Structure 1
Amino acid sequence: MALGVVSAQAADDTDGTITVTASNGTASHTLAAYKIAAYNSGMYQAASGGTLDKTTFNYIVDSKDGDAIESALLSAGISENASGTLTKAQEGLKKLSGDDSSGNPNTYGYQAGTNTRNSSERKFADALAEKISNTDTATEWTPSYSAPVPAVTGTNTFSATLPEDLYLILDSYAGSANSTQSVPMIVGTTFANTAITDAGNVGTVTLKHTTAPITKEVVTDENGTAPNNDPSYNTTDTVYSKLTTKIPNYDGYASDPTLNNKNAIRQLSIVDTFEAGKFTDQKVVSVYDTTKNQKLTLNSDFTTKAESTTSSATDLNKLTIDFERLVNKAQANTTKNLGQAWDGWESGDTITVIVSGKLFTAATTTTKGSTAGTGADTQGNNNTVQLTYSNNPSDTSKVNTVQGPIVNVYTHEFTIHKVDAAGSNLQGATFQVSTGSTQLKFTKDTDGAYVVDNDSSTATTDLVSGSDGLIKVKGLKASKDGVTYTVKETKVPDTYLQAVAPTYKVTLKDQFDNDGTNPARSGAATEAGDDWLTDLSYTYDTTQDVYKLVTASTSGTSAPTGDTATVKNVASITQLPKTGAAGIAMFTIIGVAVIAVAALFAVRARKASQRA
């Protein structure tokens, strides 16, 4: 119905104010006030101490509103007789209470986590709200007066100056913010009688809506106990992420344990999406209600679905974890192999999900850092999360979809440039790369680069230079303390000296800054749930390269400093750098020859002694 003055009584000439506090913000909410009854302005008095003298106070119900109010009072279990000049509706309004059946205050007026109304005020408010939205003209209520309650710019409040009345406040929620539609509220304006200096909370009410957070962070292992502030990986390593949310406040929301009535089925689900084509083996590792330390069970408390965001039949990069069964306390369904849902949860409990995926050999690799930002880093491989939950207590099929944070993980690369003594590209040289005692295995990608691959049965340890002399090595981990790789030439091309094949080490060291917009961890921005690669350095150790064949370029003799090392082969010792290396090489070659000759003579001597 349109908002505005429909009719007014003389008693409405004196104004009061209503202030509604919205703890989760005013965005997407539109409030309207519908008059229930006027105050007996000019007649009620202040008691000693500045409080309201209740013996002098009465409500005045417009004749147009009387039937609807009496009917709603009956729904609340209040049936009063007319008394003197007061109608049944006016007498009944004085009996409304926000307390539950035990006399305890109840913020929402429902049994916790249900739509069971346990205060007369809640029953009355809901019944009256239903009459406004009723499509049956015989029972529909058109209030005698209504007006908007606008949001106050720059605050989390709504406020309006209105005739001094008791009002029903209804929320129309657009569903574009992380919030829910409020349940109906009853509030009276402040008193115009300035002698009442202690009116308590009259004129104020808190919007009865809720919100649900969704966070994500990269963690070190499947238990999720420690954040990974250095999210650098080898390709085919497993990446673990922790997703967290809270069970929304379901006070006032219907539920259906049979899951048959779509308008009464509460919705709560998390969708985790890995960047397409960059991860494999995506799976849900574990799900807990960490508040209750309760492990949740697949196909009893939640279900999962894996699908692709592309046309790929194998890259199932989108994981949905659906808690519909949990929040509706669903019954077992033996036909569908679904168990009874756990019913020990409460609104506000933290739900923690650990998901994993292997960093694919097609992952983005990088040789440098960038300025810390937020969202998807083009130099990394990202993973994002969304939360969907019911946002309307009168229709649980209506939902919010809330975008959570994006996190990034990284892997790196370096290049070997193989040349001859003149600096020309050299094809056919073979290298191996190791870290510590681990020999790395590789497969080739579509561009001919070698990518770390610990899963393929056809992976090789041998890296061979192409016609351009290049060997690009990808999928390498770095760390803040540095990861050192030993690069060894194991076979030189034909016609080149095998005895002077070089070995060198390169250490990859990274640095990360926190993304302060990611709320996954509590505390300051330095404890955010996403970390951006801001620096990547390459440090070379060429002490094993006694022949000075590992350099920064084809023409120089200085050691490399960037992501590419130039590695030379020579056809003769005369092509070695003029640093004494030729002499060293000569002695090495002579030494090898002497050892070979000595071995030959030893074999011959052994055979001669055997014949004797």
Structure 2
Amino acid sequence: MDKKKITAACATMAALAALCVPGSAAFAADGTLTLNAGDGSTLAGHSFTVYKLANYTDVVKDGANVKSVSAKHPDQTTGDWIAAALKANGVNYSVDAGQNAAEQLLRLKTDTDTLRKVAGTLQATAAASKVTAVKTNQTSTTGSLNLTLPEGYYLVVDAQGIPILVSTTIGGATRMSNGQTLGSTQIKANVTKIDKKIKSVDGTWKDSAAATNGETRDFKATFTVPNKLAVDTITLEDHMTGITYIDGSFHATVGGTDITNQFGAIGKDKITAADGKTQTDGTGFKTTSLQSLVDTYQGKQVTVTYQGKVVNASKANQGLNQILVTSNWLPNVIPPDVPTPGPGTDETPVPTYDVNLKKISAADGSRTIQGAKFKIHNDSLNQWYTWDSASNQWTFGTDESKATEFSTNAQGVINFTRLGAGTYTVKETQVPAGYFSFVKPSFTIKVTDDGRVTITGKDQPGLTGTVTNADANASTPTAVVKNIDNITQLPQTGAETMGIMIVGAFAIILVATATGWGAYRIRHENMGDGSIAA
């Protein structure tokens, strides 16, 4: 045979032999690996680097599942890296007995302190070991990341999380016979994120909503239950300033199923007002979940709802409530070179706003009127407002007679303080002496959650100055309202004004007639003609 042909044939045989070597990466089929953030969460902000730790050999299937596999490191550098991590954590194996580092790694039980230590050591020593990552800077803006990788066992390092040891699918199988999942895992985020909302007066959930001092509001917070291989339990606490948690209002659900019983006792959480603040200390809550919450619902989104009463918020000091969710980590989950992560937090500011009323004379706009009386009604809630000056809170009811009647001061002003979002009617209940008592203006105040205030006349609208979207954060919007002492001062604004003018004229005629009739009667009685028949 030609010497060149012999050489070529030998090279071909060698290549084929290499493909058949157990554990050779050249013959490894592709598998898949899906990283999940969990329901309602996203991988945005995470960046993953993937290192291969083991090739699979001698795969034994059990129907659709994998019964067993053998493993070997893909190269000597990786083998040395794994061996050093095992040794550092007291894991021994016998090379003489045919054992290798990768195979020993796979023998470690999944949910063990030792395996968590090894994962942390592998992450901490990856750079120094000179191993080459299979994939780097893998990102996703959704809740999952799908990777195609040669079948094997991998270390996944998360720039925003805890290292994961995980297997790809094997021959298309997604499960081991013992129930262990293949090809997918929930990430071990170093911070469990939480999103909190407050229900606005219009019934929608918002990041911030204005509430009246004395009002009770609904709150909602959502978070994704962490990976049970990383976290034992979670602790929820809400630090409230100017707001008090309503006992018994805490409820938790997953997909509409009540899981409130997965949390322990709801304790009170008292905090001290910050320096320079004058509001009463808030009273929040604190509770820790059972371990069964994490074991049963990992990756699921939990929604907690509860109520808080605004007890001492003002324009200068808005109500605040910050919720924290703390992951109570299993031992040695956090690698030795990684600081213990802090809690996930979110807060919902609860502002409150002031509106002034200023009473002036229609005849002389520079003259303010003292003693005009008004009541305020929340049209959004159909409630009359009663002010308690001792507690600086409003109380609410449907009985107008129990509502507070405010009176304009010497400057003609009433301050309606600490109001939440909504639509209000301010109604004049008593006109000062010297002004037409049958002309009682009322006006509407609309307050938005962000403090935009609109004021428009309602009854006798021409007697109330219009204010359009004033910024109650910057200053106090003022409703300027006029009283009249002459029927001609009524603005000519339509049928209502004409009706009042007719009623007013009729009243004047009645008064004049009654006065004349009285004089006539007295004159006749004085003339001796006898009493006039009534």
Q: Which bin holds the TM-score, normalised by the shorter protein?
A: 0.5 to 0.7
Per the alignment, residue 209 of structure 1 pairs with 188
Contact 2:273 2:280 in 1 (8 A): yes
Aligned match for 1:502, one of 411, 422, 439:
439
Q: CA deviation at 1:245?
A: 3.3
Per the alignment, residue 236 of structure 1 pairs with 213
Q: CA deviation at 1:478?
A: 7.0
Q: CA deviation at 1:77?
A: 11
In structure 2, do the counterparts of structure 1 residues 12 and 18 end up closer, same or farther at CA, with 3 Å as the change threshold?
same
Structure 2 CA distance, aligned partners of 1:298 and 1:206?
A: 25
In structure 2, do the counterparts of structure 1 residues 345 and 411 end up closer, same or farther at CA, with 3 Å as the change threshold?
farther
Structure 1 CA distance, aligned partners of 2:313 and 2:118?
A: 62
Structure 2 CA distance, aligned partners of 1:551 and 1:314?
A: 34
Q: Which amino acid aligns with 1:209?
A: K
Deviations 1:470-507 (A, max 9, x none): 4454455775xx65442133433xxxx25646313334
Residues 191-590 of structure 1 aligned to structure 2 (within 5 Å): 205-206=184-185, 208-209=187-188, 211-218=192-199, 235-246=212-223, 248-253=225-230, 255=232, 267-273=234-240, 279=242, 281=244, 286-291=249-254, 293=258, 300=265, 302=267, 304-312=269-277, 314-317=279-282, 321-324=285-288, 326-327=289-290, 347=298, 348=300, 350=302, 352-358=304-310, 360=312, 362-363=314-315, 383=320, 385-390=322-327, 394-395=332-333, 398-404=340-346, 406=348, 413=355, 415-419=357-361, 421-433=363-375, 435=377, 440-442=385-387, 453-454=394-395, 461-467=405-411, 469-475=412-418, 479=422, 483-492=424-433, 497=434, 500=437, 502-508=439-445, 536=454, 538-542=456-460, 550=463, 552=465, 564-570=479-485, 583-584=505-506, 586-587=508-509, 589-590=511-512
Identity of aligned residues (%): 11
Deviations 1:315-341 (A, max 9, x none): 324x554334x3469xxxxxxxxxxxx
Structure 1 CA distance, aligned partners of 2:100 and 2:271?
A: 57
Give the match's secondary structure for 2:100. Answer: helix
Structure 2 CA distance, aligned partners of 1:476 and 1:35?
A: 61
Structure 2 CA distance, aligned partners of 1:439 and 1:251?
A: 51
Contact 2:362 2:489 in 1 (8 A): no
Contact 1:385 1:405 in 2 (8 A): yes
Task: Please tell me whether residue 22 in structure 1 is matched to residue 3 in structure 2.
Answer: no
Q: CA deviation at 1:596?
A: 10
Give the match's secondary structure for 1:129. Answer: helix
Q: CA deviation at 1:540?
A: 1.1
Structure 2 CA distance, aligned partners of 1:533 and 1:490?
A: 30
Give the match's secondary structure for 1:415. Answer: strand
CA RMSD in angstroms, aligned pairs only:
6.0
Q: CA deviation at 1:464?
A: 1.9
More helix by share: 2
Structure 2 CA distance, aligned partners of 1:596 and 1:403?
A: 79
Residues 11-50 of structure 1 aligned to structure 2 (within 5 Å): 20-24=33-37, 25-27=42-44, 29=46, 31-37=48-54
Q: CA deviation at 1:76?
A: 12
In structure 2, do the counterparts of structure 1 residues 592 and 580 end up closer, same or farther at CA, with 3 Å as the change threshold?
same
Deviations 1:270-291 (A, max 9, x none): 33555xxxx4556565323445
Unaligned runs of 5+ in 1: 1-9, 99-108, 111-115, 118-122, 175-179, 191-197, 256-265, 330-341, 365-379, 446-450, 513-530, 554-561, 601-612
Contact 2:355 2:416 in 1 (8 A): yes
In structure 2, do the counterparts of structure 1 residues 466 and 311 end up closer, same or farther at CA, with 3 Å as the change threshold?
same
In structure 2, do the counterparts of structure 1 residues 464 and 444 end up closer, same or farther at CA, with 3 Å as the change threshold?
farther
Structure 1 CA distance, aligned partners of 2:349 and 2:245?
A: 16
Structure 2 CA distance, aligned partners of 1:283 and 1:270?
A: 14
Size of the aligned set, in residue pairs, is 442
Q: CA deviation at 1:238?
A: 1.4
